[in-house]
C-alpha cells in the first residue's frame, strides 16, 4: 500500500502538478473536486506542495480545496440519495447501517463534519453516501464537508509550514495519532458550540 501511494505521488508530481500549477490557485479546487468525486488523488501530498510553495497565501489554497471537496462530494451524495437504503446496505451490514441512521438522526451535521476532518484510512465515503441516503439537506451537507475539510487541511498547513512537505509522511505514518489530534479538536469545537448554544438559550429565557 505504501509503495502504491508513493507511486501515485510520483505520478502526480511528474505528470499532473505542472498542469495544476498552470491553474494557479484554482488547482487546489480542481484536485479537491476530483478527490471527493471518487477519483483517486493523493490530496494531502498535492496540497502540501501548494502550501509549501505559497506559504504567505496558503489559506487561500486550503479554503478553495475545502470548497472543491464540498462540490465534488455532491456526486457520491446524490448516488446515495438516488440509491436509497439498498445502495448503502450493499456496502455495510445492517448493524452498521442502523448505527449510521442513529448518528444522523441525533446530529447529522457532526456525522458528516467529523469524518471529513479525518485523514485516511477513515471511511469518509460511507458517511457521504449515508448523508444522501438519509436525505440530509444539501446546503447543510456541503457546509459540514467544507468545515471538516478546512479544519483537516489547516492542521496539515501548520505541520507543513513548521516541518516542510515531509509532514505528509508524518501524517501517513502516524494516521492514528493524527486522527486522535483532529478528533480532539472536533470534540473541543463541539463542546464550545454546545456551551454557546446553551448559554444563548438561557439568555433568551431571561
For residue 95, the tally of other CB atoms under 10 A from its CB is 8
Q: How confident is the model at residue 162 (pLDDT cuts 50, 70, 90)?
A: confident
Give me the mean pLDDT over the 107-127 stretch: 87
pLDDT on residue 2: 45
- Segments forming the whole domain that contains residue 68: 2-205
For 132-159, write each residue's pLDDT tens digit. Answer: 999 999 999 999 999 999 988 988 888 8
The domain total for the chain is: 1
Q: Residue 125, exposed/middle/buried by CB under 10 A (0-12, 13-18, 19+)?
A: middle
pLDDT at 72 over 70: yes
Give me the mean pLDDT over the 8-20 stretch: 54
Q: Residue 123, exposed/middle/buried by CB under 10 A (0-12, 13-18, 19+)?
A: middle
Are 122 and 72 spatial neighbours (Cβ–Cβ below 8 Å)?
no
Max mean pLDDT range (2-11, 19-28, 65-74, 117-126): 65-74
* Segment holding 157, helix H or strand E: helix 138-163
Give CA–CA dist 185/29, Å, rounded: 24
Give CA–CA dist 82/126, Å, rounded: 15
pLDDT on residue 27: 85
Give me the mean pLDDT over the 160-168 stretch: 76
Point out the least confidently predicted range of 1-10, 24-33, 122-131: 1-10
What values do phi and psi take at 73, rounded to 5?
-70, -10
Give the percent of the chain with pLDDT over 90: 30
Amino acid at each position: 500500500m505504501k509503495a502504491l501511494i508513493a507511486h501515485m505521488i510520483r505520478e502526480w508530481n511528474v505528470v499532473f502538478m505542472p498542469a495544476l500549477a498552470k491553474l494557479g490557485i484554482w488547482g487546489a479546487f480542481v484536485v479537491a473536486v476530483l478527490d471527493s468525486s471518487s477519483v483517486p488523488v493523493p490530496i494531502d501530498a498535492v496540497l502540501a506542495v501548494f502550501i509549501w510553495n505559497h506559504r504567505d497565501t496558503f489559506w487561500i489554497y486550503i479554503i478553495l480545496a475545502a470548497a472543491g471537496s464540498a462540490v465534488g462530494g455532491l456526486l457520491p451524495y446524490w448516488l446515495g440519495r438516488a440509491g436509497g437504503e439498498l445502495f448503502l446496505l450493499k456496502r455495510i451490514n445492517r448493524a452498521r447501517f442502523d448505527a449510521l441512521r442513529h448518528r444522523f438522526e441525533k446530529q447529522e451535521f457532526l456525522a458528516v463534519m467529523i469524518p471529513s476532518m479525518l485523514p485516511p484510512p477513515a471511511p469518509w465515503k460511507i458517511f457521504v453516501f449515508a448523508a444522501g441516503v438519509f436525505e440530509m439537506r444539501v446546503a447543510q451537507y456541503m457546509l459540514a464537508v467544507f468545515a471538516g475539510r478546512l479544519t483537516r487541511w489547516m492542521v496539515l498547513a501548520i505541520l507543513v509550514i513548521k516541518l516542510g512537505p515531509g509532514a505528509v509522511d508524518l501524517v501517513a505514518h502516524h494516521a492514528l495519532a493524527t486522527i486522535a489530534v483532529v478528533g480532539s479538536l472536533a470534540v473541543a469545537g463541539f463542546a464550545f458550540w454546545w456551551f454557546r448554544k446553551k448559554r444563548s438559550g438561557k439568555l433568551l429565557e431571561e
